[in-house]
Amino acid sequence: MKLIKSDNCIYAFSQSMQPVETAEPGEILLFETSDALGGQIKDENDTTNLDFSKVNPATGPVFIKNAHVGQTLKVKILDIEISDRGVIVAEEGFGVLPDAIKGFKAKVLEINNGFICFDNITLSIDPMIGVIGVAPEKGEFPTGTASKHGGNMDTKYIKSGSTLYLPIFQEGALLALGDVHALMADGEVCVSACEVGSKVTIKTELIDRKINWPVVETDQGYFILVSLPDINEAFREATLQSVELLSEQLRIPFEKAYMLASLVVDIQISQLVDPNKTVRAFVPKRIFW
């Protein structure tokens, strides 16, 4: 197993990223991650001098040997171990309700025996990875923004036991991840979840197939993840991708797949608060059996 420490991190996915480690496909990798605020919030009053240049660090990137452009990187998430302390923040001008609060607010959340304590409310943890991606085809994407390369998709199904598929745009893929949450609901409406430090164990494989957008596989089905600035365009693209998948896999005409999608495909929201909004189309596995 190779360890990639949290002090090896990036704040943007780009073509020019330099790998901090090299790994063989099939090798077990352990990523240490800082919380999305870079560990800056020590208590609920420690908010006045937040350095936003240290927000959303992603550990890596890792160069995967024999990963070539046009292939798909398969990332099996084996385990997510989280810290016993989280923090959630809200700030004026951000989130779904940007004018609802004034200034910057932070809340420290203790985590004990698999539960989060939010005042007198007890919540079960469900750890997931907010940021995970590879080098993009062109340009540069801050780690707070998602697109075809992955990035800040904030999708709660990217968790232990699931598999993420990422399109490869550069040699070696250059995989990085961070922004782990102890718990997050769809939408992440206040722009933050329960942000925690973590240790994430994964295994990578290579697939000789091209995909257009990241895909998460669970026991129940496939989530096609589309991230675009306009939420309606993201809905449209996710729907189109799901219809094309049904048409291809079931070998039926597009118009029939379109009608079938109205019966079996669920269009859902992952997050609404980042520069590119993330929508997912869920295609159940049972339709292919």
Q: Do 126 and 255 lie in a common domain?
A: no
Q: Are residues 206 and 270 in the same domain?
A: no
Contact status, residue 216 vs residue 155, Cβ threshold 8 Å: yes
Maximum Cα interatomic distance, the chain, rounded to a whole number of Å: 59
What tokens does 250 get? 């079931």
Q: What is the pLDDT of residues 3-18, one digit of tens each?
A: 999 999 999 999 999 9
Is pTM beyond 0.95? Reply is yes
Quick one: 265 and 133 in the same domain?
no
Verify that 95 and 227 share a domain, yes or no: no
Mark which of 158, 181, 212 sits at the end of a domain: 212
pLDDT digits (tens, 9 = 90+) for 89-113: 999 999 999 999 998 999 999 999 9
Q: Domain of residue 282: give its range.
A: 221-288
Q: Side-chain half-sphere of 192: how many Cα atoms within 13 Å?
A: 22
Query: Do both 188 and 228 map to the same domain?
Result: no
CATH number of the domain where residue 79 is located: 2.60.120.580
In this structure, the chain runs to a length of: 289
Domain end (from 172, 195, 212):
212
92 and 233 housed in the same domain: no
- Asked if 93 and 67 sit in the same domain, the reply is yes
Total structural domains within the chain: 2
Q: What is the pLDDT of residues 206-245, one digit of tens each?
A: 999 999 999 999 999 999 999 999 999 999 999 999 999 9
CATH code assigned at 236? 3.10.28.20
Cβ neighbours of residue 51 under 8 Å, at least 6 residues apart? 38, 40
Render pLDDT for 145-159 as a digit per residue (tens, 0 to 9): 999 999 999 999 999
Residues 165 and 275 in one domain: no
